Amino acid sequence: MKPTATPSSTQHNTRYSALFFWLGLAIVLAYAAWYNWAFADMVNLSVDETTHLMWLRLIQAGYKPYSEIYITYPPVFPLFLELSWTLWPSLAGLCWSSFGYALLTAVAVALLTRHLSAALAGLVAAFVIANSFGSCSILSEKMSMSGAIFAVWLAIVYRDTGRRWLLPLSALALAISQLTKIQSPFIPGVIALILAQAALPSINGVGSAWRRFRWRQFIVDGLIWGGALIVGVAVFYLWYDFQALYDQTLGQHLAAREAFMDDANYWASSLSRLTEFVQANLWLLPLALVGFIQMFIHKTKDRYTLLFWFALAAITLLVHRPLRNKHFIVFEPLLAIWAGVAVSYGWLALKQLRTTSWATRGLAAVTGLLLLGYLLPTLTILTGGWRDESPLLAGGPPDSKAQELNFIDTVTTPGDCLLTDNMRLAYFSGRLVPPELAEISSNRFRSGHLTLSDLVVAGSENDCQIVATDSRIARFTPDFKKWAEINYLGRYRYDDNAMLYVSKIKTTPNPEHLQDGQLGDTIRFLGYTIQPDHPAAGQRLTLISFWQAIAPIDADYTIFVQLRDANNNT
């Protein structure tokens, strides 16, 4: 199949076009990096982000993903978090690593759009993707999209050049994408269409071409691509506890979908999400529509491929349960491609203004107005967001949580665990959660993968000195509060549905320095723990002493502790 003429048909393969594309792409990526740098201090860690950071803390504490830590994302994402922290151990490091990974989506979309249309179209598409990033986020959605777009681009390049070695690369790119997050399960369908196009002979007449369809080539290509995909996924799945990995990454989502099928508010909620998506892309959507129309007017190659891609993405969202705003990201690459095509054809019409029809001029004018409307918010950011100094990354706790965080810091030590359904509270407290409760979303409750008995078992087996219940436990397992009231000495209300339960009654003493000293007939001293174990001069330390009541205590006791150094100095 030979490509039809595009706006860049006279210069697409020239050195000037290549220089223009790569220089322009570098400028787009630099703009995205500046935006991330300039507004990184505006970061507000979400529930999802603090959950990801808690996974990382638990991995660093020695717990194993999936077999011990409940992680709902495939293996590449926790590996990425661990590697990023190793290279740059800070929240800022994770921010920039996530940004770099996600920015590959802009590169992939640029390469794909350039191949389908023109260099200018590729640059506009890359800008649309880069412009959607916002400030720092440690999320996997855009990271996952990068591999999916690279997979499509490599498959199309194979179709047009016959370089079969690109097929396993395409499959591995998609494997990495879906092992980061299962975001685009429909991409194999797009790849199958591309491989079918590659097997069509280059002859006139669609009917004749399909009658001479090269089935052997199609089957061989499919086996190469599918085999590489299966091997890539299997390597990661077999490396971990397969059953636990499957249950957490796929089983929970499938079960949640079944649970949400009977949700009476599902369609109303989905319509609300769609409305929010349209409002957030009020200028981009009509601009992309113009590009879509232009591709059919000019019979641009792969117009049907993109339409098929869009249909598969739409069907995926229709069957998705529950539907969230972040799931609409599957449309972003297509909108970016069509927007790039619209601008490219508009620029071509402007250069050929004297020879084009009035209809073409009108479409170009509409494109210009839509592009201006799309760019206005960006221009506002550029004029008002310039900074002379690099800002600090704000990742601190919200002021609304200061009271309970201070309380947790007062009555517990950094080594204590915190059982809670509020992962933001757990993250900002600096305490670890029980690894089996590292993800405690409403999705997990609705799927049946987290029950009251699971919470009770976790509470009994983990020696957490504080239980903090919030809206999810109150909504799905309210009886867990009764269990906490029975098993903890004190409680403290800090919000409408939020409670802190303090001091577990049946706790297991675990002093690092064992002692056996009895004070009279009432109390026995079991030992102590000092954190850090070897404090430096002038350093603040935490002393935890462990006592056991031998007989009922009928009076208040005051215990004085005196610390001495190696030279017996107080």
Whether 466 and 409 share a structural domain: yes
Residue 11 lies in a domain: no
More confident site: 5 or 461? 461
Task: Region of 134 please: left (phi>0), alpha (psi -120 to 50) or beta.
Answer: left
Q: Round the average pLDDT of the chain to a whole number and report it.
A: 85
Q: Nearest CA to 188 among 235, 221, 212, 139? A: 221
More confident site: 404 or 171? 171
Tell me what pLDDT residue 10 has.
45
Backbone phi, psi, residue 544, to 5°: -115, 120
Contacts of 385 (CB under 8 A, 6+ apart): 35, 38, 39
Residue 249 lies in a domain: yes
Q: Nearest CA to 239 among 57, 436, 76, 71? A: 76
Q: Mean pLDDT over residues 221-235, rounded?
A: 94
Let me know the angle formed at the C-alpha of 514 by 509 and 516, rounded to the nearest 5 degrees.
95
* CB-based contact 90:391 (threshold 8 Å): no
Sign of CA dihedral 508, 512, 515, 518: negative
> CA-CA distance, 346 to 351, in Å (whole number)?
9
Determine what percent of the chain falls in helix, strand and coil, rounding each to the nearest 5.
60, 10, 30
> CA-CA distance, 509 to 492, in Å (whole number)?
24
**Is the pLDDT score of 34 beyond 50?**
yes
Whether 500 and 517 share a structural domain: no
Whether 362 and 467 share a structural domain: no
Give the largest Cα separation in the chain, rounded: 106
Residue 18 lies in a domain: no
DSSP for residue 322: S
Tell me what pLDDT residue 9 has.
46
Q: Mean pLDDT over residues 29-53, rounded?
A: 81
DSSP for residue 4: P
SS3 of 478-492: CHHHHHHHHHEEEEE
**Burial environment of residue 448 by CB neighbours within 10 A (0 to 12, 13 to 18, 19 or more):** middle
The pair of three-digit structure tokens given for residue 471, joined into one six-digit string: 């809206």
The pair of three-digit structure tokens given for residue 333, joined into one six-digit string: 């690459």
> What are the tens digits of pLDDT across the range 166-215?
999 999 999 999 999 998 999 999 999 999 999 887 756 566 666 778 88
Instruction: Indicate the range of 65-69, 498-502, 522-526 predicted with least confidence.
Output: 522-526
pLDDT grade for 22, boundaries at 50, 70 and 90:
very high
> What are the tens digits of pLDDT across the range 266-289?
778 788 888 988 998 899 999 999
**Is the pLDDT score of 250 beyond 60?**
yes
Instruction: Indicate the range of 14-28, 134-148, 499-513 predicted with least confidence.
Output: 499-513
> What are the tens digits of pLDDT across the range 525-538?
888 777 777 777 77
Residue 22 lies in a domain: no
Whether 534 and 431 share a structural domain: no
How much of the chain exceeds pLDDT 90, in percent?
41
Backbone phi, psi, residue 432, to 5°: -85, 150
Tell me what pLDDT residue 358 has.
78
Q: Mean pLDDT over residues 5-24, rounded?
A: 70
The span from the first CA to the last CA of the chain, in angstroms, equals 87
> Nearest 10 degrees: CA dihedral of 472, 473, 475, 479?
180
- What Cα–Cα distance (Å) separates residue 135 from each residue in 43, 98, 146, 385, 546? 6, 11, 18, 12, 46
Tell me what pLDDT residue 90 has.
86
Tell me what pLDDT residue 539 has.
72
3-state secondary structure of 352: coil
Q: Mean pLDDT over residues 335-347, rounded?
A: 93
* CB-based contact 294:345 (threshold 8 Å): yes
**Is the pLDDT score of 41 beyond 70?**
no
Domain boundary among 478, 504, 530: 504
Whether 403 and 341 share a structural domain: no
Domain range holding 498?
399-504
> What are the tens digits of pLDDT across the range 422-481?
898 899 998 999 999 999 988 899 888 999 999 999 999 998 889 998 888 988 999 999
pLDDT grade for 8, boundaries at 50, 70 and 90:
very low
Whether 32 and 120 share a structural domain: yes
> CA-CA distance, 439 to 447, in Å (whole number)?
13
Tell me what pLDDT residue 507 has.
76
How do beta strands 466-469 and 418-420 pair?
Answer: parallel
Whether 415 and 360 share a structural domain: no
**Is the pLDDT score of 25 beyond 50?**
yes
Domain boundary among 384, 408, 434: 384
3-state secondary structure of 500: strand
More confident site: 312 or 353? 312
Whether 150 and 277 share a structural domain: yes
Cβ neighbours of 26 (radius 10 Å): 10
Tell me what pLDDT residue 489 has.
85
Instruction: Indicate the range of 58-67, 231-240, 345-354 predicted with least confidence.
Output: 345-354
Tell me what pLDDT residue 541 has.
74
Tell me what pLDDT residue 153 has.
97
* CB-based contact 144:184 (threshold 8 Å): yes
Residue 132 lies in a domain: yes
> CA-CA distance, 418 to 433, in Å (whole number)?
5
**Is the pLDDT score of 130 beyond 50?**
yes
Domain boundary among 488, 504, 520: 504
Residue 451 lies in a domain: yes
Whether 480 and 551 share a structural domain: no
> CA-CA distance, 344 to 347, in Å (whole number)?
5
How do beta strands 499-504 and 466-469 pair?
Answer: antiparallel
More confident site: 547 or 107? 107
Tell me what pLDDT residue 1 has.
41
> What are the tens digits of pLDDT across the range 292-308?
999 999 888 899 999 99
Instruction: Indicate the range of 28-32, 111-115, 507-511 predicted with least confidence.
Output: 507-511
CA atoms within 13 A on the CB side of 463: 9
DSSP assignment of 157-217, as one string? HHHHH--TTHHHHHHHHHHHHHHH----TTHHHHHHHHHHHHTS-S-S-HHHHHHT--HHH
Contacts of 172 (CB under 8 A, 6+ apart): 228, 229, 232
Partners of 468 in the β-ladder:
420, 500
Whether 133 and 197 share a structural domain: yes
Residue 392 lies in a domain: no
Instruction: Indicate the range of 5-14, 169-178, 333-342, 389-398 predicted with least confidence.
Output: 5-14
| Total domains, the chain | 3
The pair of three-digit structure tokens given for residue 544, joined into one six-digit string: 């935890």
Whether 49 and 155 share a structural domain: yes
3-state secondary structure of 499: strand
Whether 452 and 532 share a structural domain: no
- The single residue listed with the structure tokens 């993405």 is 313
Amino acid of residue 525: F
Residue 7 lies in a domain: no
